[in-house]
Amino acid sequence: MALTTVARGRVYDWSHAIGRGAATGTGFNYVQTMCLDKNGNAYTTNRGNENNFGMRANHVKIGTAAGEEDLLAEFFQYGEGDGKTTWPFGIAVDSERDRVYCSDEWTSTISVFDTGGKFIAKFGKPGSGDGELSHPAGIAVEKSGNVIVVDAGNNRLQVFSPDGKFAGKCGGPGKAPGEFDQPWGITLDKDGNILVADWGNNRIQKLSPQGRPLMCLGSYGKSSKPEGAYAVTPLGPYVAAEGERAGHPRTDQFNHPTDVAVDSDGDIYVCDWGNHRVCIFDSEGGPITTLVGDSQVMSKWGNMSVSANPDMMKARRRVKSLEPEWRFCFPTAVDFDPASDQIIVADSQRNRLQVYKKVRNYTDFQANL
């Protein structure tokens, strides 16, 4: 199966995977959101489970090839009080000001850490008034240092100053442009325009820095299970007997999108959670292609688990096809690192990140090889 995807003059090359299931330490536990620091390293929030395991934010070195990954820091673990969390959700880093913002959607607060994970402050409280939050989700930091919080339960965006003072808001519940239904992830393009994954409305919204609606991208469409396909989970993805993308709707149809990213060329990446893929568009919203996950090479940390467990190794050698393992399963976040041209996707149910590279100077090979 292809590791290089070519479409409309663009080339995407699968690079490596990072992670494994782990409630603490070297791995992930249901990543909800992700952001990149100035070095291209990722911060993620991990939702964990009802045994109060796995909740945390971590800082992970991405590198440009398999084996370079490393766990840099862990913070925002489960618990009460400063620096702790119940239901971690959003994360954003302000490398200039040495700050990381994390949202907790249960306590409806934003915790502020330094980039090493040391707790600094906390702001926000439950409610629907100015400066109050309900189930805060994704976060983004403006060049000014102001913090935009996706106030999902209130179906709006709120802006805070770096020290947590209310500075503005936009949106409200609904389906019209500028209105939201439980939005999830957020990103800013180089001009400061705001892109939001409008989860419940199955679309991406682009707003001006002032919050004026500029573009709505996508409509609802759900994968269907092809006859005889293998359902990796009851809600997909589906691996068909033949053909690697069977069952997907059109590229511009989403099922509960969770995140969006913009690359240095202005191309837009949408994390199409419920359809288990990343959809790529040009800056005008024209569909380019989709990525479905290609994790054919085991991650470094994954290898440690497999090599410590002879029975797992044995079982893997008996499996007819590992294709179900390559595929995204409910991806929750996508980011683009302009320095390395890497696209990083948080593959939530598989507890890993998949890294692709947007290849600039791809020379095609002779077709008659």
Partner 1 sequence: MANTDNCIVVLQLTGGNDYLNTTIPYNNPLYKDNRPAVGIPDNNIIHLDATYGIPEYIAPMKKFWDAGQMAICHGVGWKESPRSHFRAMDIWHTCEPIKVGTEGWLGRVAREFDPNKENVVQVVSMGPSLPRALVCPGVPVACVAGPLERYGFLPQVQGNERAHVLDRFAKMYSPAIGAGPVMDYLSETAIDSLKGEDIIKVAPQKYSSTVQYPNTPIARKLKGIAQTHIAEIGSRIFYCDHSTFDTHAGEAPAHNALWSAVSQGVDAFFADLREHNKSQNVIMLLFSEFGRRVHDNGSGTDHGAGGVAFVLGDKVKGGHYGEMPSLEAGKLVQGDLDPNMDFRSVYSTILDKWLGLNPAPIVNGTFEQPAFLN
Partner 2 sequence: MAYQDDIALMAHLMRRAGFGARRDELEARVAKGYDAAVEELLHPETQPATDEYALLRYQPAALLPGGQPPMGNVNWLYHLVNTKRPLEEKMALFWHHVFATGNSKVDNYDQLLEQIQLFREHGMGNYRELLSIVSKNPTMIFWLDNQQNHGTAVNENWGRELLELFSLGAGNYTEVDVRECSRAFTGWTFETKIPRLPYGRFPWKFEYRPEDHDDGEKVFLGHKGHFNGEDILDIIVQQPACGKFICRHLYNFFVADEPQVPAWPIEAPRNPKAIDEMVEVFRDSKFDMRAVLRHMFNADWFKNARFQHVKSPAEVVVGTLRFVGGSEVPRPGYGELSMNTAYMGQDLLNPPSVEGWHTGKEWINSGSLMARINFMAEQIGNTSALGVRGIIDRLRVKGSLSPEQLVDGCLDLLGPVEVSADTKAQLLSQANEWGQISWSNGSSAASDQHVGQMLQLIVATREYQFA
Answer yes or no whether residue 311 interacts with partner 1 by CB under 8 A.
Answer: yes
Which token pair is 221? 């469409």
Residue 121 region, left (φ>0) first, then alpha (ψ -120 to 50), else beta?
Answer: beta
DSSP state of 139: E
- The residue among 54 and 90 lying less far from partner 2, judged by its C-beta, is 54
Binds partner 2 (CB under 8 A): choice among 11, 21, 282, 289: 21
- Min separation Cβ 25 and partner 1, Å: 4
Report the partner that residue 336 touches, choosing among partner 1, partner 2, none (CB closer than 5 to 8 A by kind).
none
Answer yes or no whether residue 80 interacts with partner 2 by CB under 8 A.
Answer: no
Binds partner 1 (CB under 8 A): choice among 1, 51, 363, 365: 51
Which helix or strand (DSSP H or E) is residue 326 part of?
helix 323-326
Binds partner 1 (CB under 8 A): choice among 13, 16, 17, 27: 27
- Paired strand residues for 220: 254
Report the partner that residue 24 touches, choosing among partner 2, partner 1, none (CB closer than 5 to 8 A by kind).
partner 1
Q: Is the dihedral of CA 316, 320, 321, 324 positive or negative?
A: negative
Q: How far apart are CA 3 and CA 292, in angstroms?
A: 11
- The residue among 283 and 296 lying less far from partner 2, judged by its C-beta, is 296
Answer yes or no whether residue 305 interacts with partner 1 by CB under 8 A.
Answer: yes
Q: Pick out residues in 130-149 that bind partner 2 (CB under 8 A).
A: none
Binds partner 2 (CB under 8 A): choice among 2, 65, 121, 231: 231
Q: Tokens 């100015």 label which residue?
A: 130
Stretch that binds partner 2, among 90-98, 168-176, 211-219, 347-355 (CB under 8 A): 347-355
DSSP state of 171: E
Cβ neighbours for 12, distance < 8 A, ≥ 6 positions apart: 4, 5, 6, 280, 289, 291, 343, 356, 357, 358, 359
Q: How far apart are CA 60 and CA 36, in angstroms?
A: 10
Q: Is the dihedral of CA 100, 267, 208, 178 positive or negative?
A: negative
Answer yes or no whether residue 233 interacts with partner 2 by CB under 8 A.
Answer: yes
DSSP state of 143: T
Cβ neighbours for 53, distance < 8 A, ≥ 6 positions apart: 23, 24, 29, 78
Residues forming contacts to partner 1 in the complex (CB under 8 A) are 21-27, 51, 301, 304-305, 307-312, 314
Residues forming contacts to partner 2 in the complex (CB under 8 A) are 20-21, 27, 29-30, 32, 47-51, 54, 86-87, 106, 182, 184, 199, 230-235, 255-256, 274, 298-299, 301-306, 309, 311-312, 315-316, 318-320, 322, 324-325, 329-330, 348-352
